[in-house]
């Protein structure tokens, strides 16, 4: 099984890009990380960069990959490093970030997330699952107050219930069960600045038309840019990962 990937991170209509993406590879293991710094708290770009760097450090020093223990250590390290930077740079209470990460190793994949950066899994061009946002609108969906489609552009969409950079121990995050890698699998990791301008039906339709990771991501980015015209687009980032026997 061969893993192909492509990533982008753009500032949209904002003055600076506070998203960060990273890919770490070693032997038969790959780790894909995407973070969306919370600009409203200040220095979101620092928080997202610190989180990606922490995942890289833990990845490099990990001897044997057990996904749950790897994510537990990497999340804890990222949160400690962000909290330390808050104190050093006199930004206590600020400097926060979301995170979504995918670990591919030994024929299996597992992911974790905190906040509203998402992972989508498609199998044979059908959407199999996506992560559930740690946000007020997602909570309203779960309670039946609003519909799934109403999350996009909801007035409280930016109100997150979890993020890295909070002084809590242990950090609350979600981790998936291991999934066996299979042909015709496609993963999309993305920040809210990406998924708010393209819905799941469009993702699926464009995946069906695309021959590889580059083409799928390029097609989706074109839709995001078209739908975001004149809307003061936020930073947007995405990583596409595809598995193939070819």
Asked if 106 and 121 count as a contact pair (C-beta separation under 8 A), the reply is no
For residues 244 and 223, the model is more confident at 223
**Can you give the pLDDT at residue 245?**
66
* 214 membership: H or E segment, kind and range: helix 213-227
CA distance 53 to 20: 10
**pLDDT above 90 for 74:** yes
CA distance 155 to 243: 37
**pLDDT above 90 for 91:** no
Instruction: Read off the pLDDT of residues 132-151 as tens digits, 9 standing for 90 and up.
Output: 999 999 999 899 999 888 89
Residue 187's nearest CA partner among 126, 242, 128, 124 is: 242
CA distance 102 to 34: 9
- Domain residue ranges in the chain: 2-232+239-243
| Mean pLDDT, range 207-230, rounded to an integer | 97
Residue 74's nearest CA partner among 104, 48, 101, 93 is: 101
Angle (deg, nearest 10), helices 200-209 and 213-227 = 140
| Mean pLDDT, range 49-59, rounded to an integer | 98
Asked if 193 and 19 count as a contact pair (C-beta separation under 8 A), the reply is yes
Which distant-in-sequence residues (6+ apart) come within 8 Å of 10 by Cβ?
Answer: 17, 235, 236, 237
Residue 62's nearest CA partner among 36, 29, 109 is: 29
**pLDDT above 80 for 1:** no
DSSP string across 153-172: T-TTTT-BS--BTS--SSPP
Q: Using the Cα atoms of residue 179, residue 206, residue 134 and residue 57 in order, give the sign of their dihedral.
A: positive
Cα 116 off chain centre by = 8
End-to-end CA distance of the chain: 8
**Can you give the pLDDT at residue 56?**
98
Lowest average pLDDT, out of 40-44, 83-87, 162-166, 233-237, goes to 40-44
Instruction: Read off the pLDDT of residues 148-161 as tens digits, 9 standing for 90 and up.
Output: 888 998 998 889 99
CA distance 243 to 228: 30
Instruction: Read off the pLDDT of residues 181-212 as tens digits, 9 standing for 90 and up.
Output: 988 899 999 999 999 999 999 999 999 999 99
| Mean pLDDT, range 127-134, rounded to an integer | 96
3-class secondary structure, 53: helix
**Can you give the pLDDT at residue 92?**
65
**pLDDT above 70 for 93:** no
| Homologous superfamily of domain range 2-232+239-243 | PPM-type phosphatase domain (3.60.40.10)
**pLDDT above 60 for 246:** no
Lowest average pLDDT, out of 29-38, 57-66, 85-94, goes to 85-94
Asked if 238 and 217 count as a contact pair (C-beta separation under 8 A), the reply is yes
pLDDT tier at 42 (50, 70, 90 boundaries)? low
**pLDDT above 80 for 224:** yes
**Can you give the pLDDT at residue 63?**
87
């Amino acid at each position: 099984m061969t893993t192909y990937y492509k990533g982008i991170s753009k500032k949209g209509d904002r003055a600076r890009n506070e998203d960060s993406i990273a890919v770490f590879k070693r032997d038969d293991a790959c780790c894909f990380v995407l973070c969306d710094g919370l600009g409203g708290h200040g220095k979101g770009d620092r928080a997202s960069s610190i989180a990606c760097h922490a995942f890289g450090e833990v990845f490099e020093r990990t001897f044997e990959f057990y996904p749950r223990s790897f994510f537990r250590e990497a999340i804890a390290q990222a949160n400690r490093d962000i909290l330390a930077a808050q104190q050093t740079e006199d930004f206590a209470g600020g400097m926060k970030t979301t995170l979504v990460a995918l670990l591919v190793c030994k024929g299996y994949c597992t992911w974790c997330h905190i906040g509203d950066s998402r992972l989508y899994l498609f199998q044979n061009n059908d959407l199999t699952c996506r992560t559930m946002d740690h946000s007020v609108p997602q909570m309203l969906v779960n309670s039946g107050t609003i519909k799934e489609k109403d999350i996009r552009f909801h007035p409280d969409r930016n109100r997150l219930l979890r993020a890295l950079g909070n002084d809590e121990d242990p950090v609350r995050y979600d981790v998936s069960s291991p999934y066996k890698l299979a042909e015709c699998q496609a993963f999309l990791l993305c920040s809210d600045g990406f998924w708010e301008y393209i819905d799941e039906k469009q993702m699926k339709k464009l995946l069906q038309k695309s021959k590889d990771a580059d083409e799928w991501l390029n097609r989706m980015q074109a839709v995001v840019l078209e739908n975001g015209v004149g809307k003061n687009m936020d930073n947007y980032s995405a990583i596409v990962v595809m598995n193939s026997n070819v």
